[in-house]
Amino acid sequence: MAQITASMVKELREKTDAPMMECKKALTEADGDMARAEEILRVKLGNKASKAAARITAEGLIGLYIAPDAKTGAVIEVNCETDFVAKNDDFIGFVNQLAELVASKNPADLATLAELPMAEGTVESTRAGLVGKIGENLSIRRFQRFETTDSLASYVHSGKIGVLVDFAGAEETGKDLAMHIAATKPKALDASGVSADDIAAERSVAEQKAAESGKPAEIVAKMVEGSVQKFLKEVTLLSQPFVKNDKQSVEQMLKEKGSKISRFALYVVGEGIEKKTEDFAAEVAAAAAGNP
């Protein structure tokens, strides 16, 4: 039996917002397996146990650029160590230059981007110089570039959420789509774009919930399928209720306006990165004891 530590319970609580005791019970049942413990909490507590999944777990900024003709554009994530640096003018300028550089030069990957000319040297030398000036490590994490025969639209929320949309239609429709995506964070345009792993995880939770109902097998099967279909409707853009008019879906809104969307990119700062947390009390105690 794995030892369940206070730090493990704290980590699970931060991920799920579930009560401390429930987190401890789930970790015990899962023999310390964090992923399994999260699944157990979802079965017991429903969506409450996953509402913290989109929390920002690292600092930085999302940069966005669209060319004047709205045919090429890029979104990029650049990370730093503290939110204080994310508000630094030099850092903001660096991120914005990178987004424009990706759009105009179309680098194949991060390594290629690092070697592109910037300022008096390259992107990498500029980054290194900024690290020396600011005093924090900076990393270029990811980017996407769109080129289209239709139009591009974008939306950035507080520098932390960025959306790039490839669509056909009025400019206002593109902006509405980008803002909707930032608000609802869909996983894909439609069900075909949702990963098999996501569907399998949802099916597993639904099966465990349905099994606890005590209903006949055929009813359980229908309950599971219903839960999976509900999940797909919630996480696919075209099926979601439109944020500006929840009486119609995004797909219905687009049809009404004679518009369409081909693809989108959604970046959330720090998504999927485990953020380091500081225990200042322990740090002071260690310093007082003469420990490094």
| Lowest mean per-residue pLDDT among 20-24, 216-220, 221-225, 230-234 | 20-24
Q: Highest-confidence range of 6-20, 128-142, 275-289, by mean pLDDT?
A: 128-142
| pLDDT for 176 | 97
Q: Is the dihedral of CA 204, 205, 206, 211 positive or negative?
A: positive
| pLDDT for 3 | 87
> Has residue 89 got a pLDDT over 60?
yes
> Has residue 281 got a pLDDT over 60?
no
| pLDDT for 212 | 85
Q: Nearest-CA neighbor of 160 among 74, 64, 90?
A: 64
Q: Give the number of residues written for the chain.
A: 292
> Has residue 278 got a pLDDT over 60?
no
| pLDDT for 47 | 52
Encode pLDDT of 42-81 as tens digits.
777 665 445 444 433 368 999 999 999 999 999 999 999 8
Encode pLDDT of 150-202 as tens digits.
999 999 999 999 999 999 999 999 999 999 999 999 999 999 999 999 999 99
% of the chain beyond a pLDDT of 70? 87
Rounded CA separation 75/61 (Å): 10
| pLDDT for 46 | 60
Q: Quick one: which H or E segment has residue 22?
A: helix 20-29
Encode pLDDT of 124-156 as tens digits.
999 988 988 888 889 999 999 999 999 999 999
Q: Quick one: which H or E segment has residue 36?
A: helix 34-45
Q: Highest-confidence range of 71-75, 273-277, 285-289, by mean pLDDT?
A: 71-75
| pLDDT for 172 | 97
Residue 85's Cβ-count burial label (10 Å; 0-12, 13-18, 19+) is buried
Mean pLDDT for all residues in the chain: 87
* Neighbouring C-beta atoms of residue 266, cutoff 10 Å: 22
Q: Nearest-CA neighbor of 74 among 100, 97, 51, 94?
A: 100
